[in-house]
Amino acid sequence: MKANGRCQHFSIGLSTNGIIAVVAWLAVLLVPSIWLRAATPEPVTFAQSAPATGVFDFIEVTAAVRAPSAHNPFTDAALTGDFEPAGSAPGAAIEGFCDSTNGSLYRIRFMPSKSGVYSFHVTLKDGQDRHTYSVM
């Protein structure tokens, strides 16, 4: 800055107490936002109907979508799964279905024809978003 042809300098000085006060205010402002972010639920929650099932009984995996974004959930989103017997060749590729008009709930069901241990991977594709659930 120039005043009367001379340069004037200014500075802002903070005492130790001033710095502590600024840091305290920043903490007051930032900590609640961190807690809110940590408390935000997942966009998709997967659940399995049972930990195990018998031959010719089915296991169902549901995908609950917190904020559906598909314009038409019956055509713009897809729930797919791969169910494989442990230690053997690839198993079955299965398509799930939307079970709500707003796209907030999807289901996929698998009925094993042989006894044994199975692993599976379920994927919900909703536009550019992909959400997965796996059991090994």
Side-chain-side CA neighbours of 12 within 13 Å: the count stands at 2
Domain boundaries, position 63: 44-135
Same domain for 66 and 103, yes or no, is yes
Q: Would you state the pLDDT for residue 124?
A: 97
Q: What is the pTM of this model?
A: 0.68
Q: Would you state the pLDDT for residue 127?
A: 78
CATH number of the structural domain spanning residue 73: 2.60.40.10
Q: Would you state the pLDDT for residue 11?
A: 46
Q: Looking at the 3D structure of the chain, how many domains does it have?
A: 2
Same domain for 125 and 93, yes or no, is yes
Query: Which of 107, 106, 112 is closest to 86 using CA atoms?
Result: 112
The residue ranges of the chain whose pLDDT is under 50 are: 1, 9-12, 36-38
Same domain for 95 and 130, yes or no, is yes
Sign of the CA dihedral with 111 first, then 135, 131, and 64 last:
positive
Same domain for 64 and 22, yes or no, is no
Q: What's the rounded Cα separation, in Å, for the pair 130 and 124?
A: 6
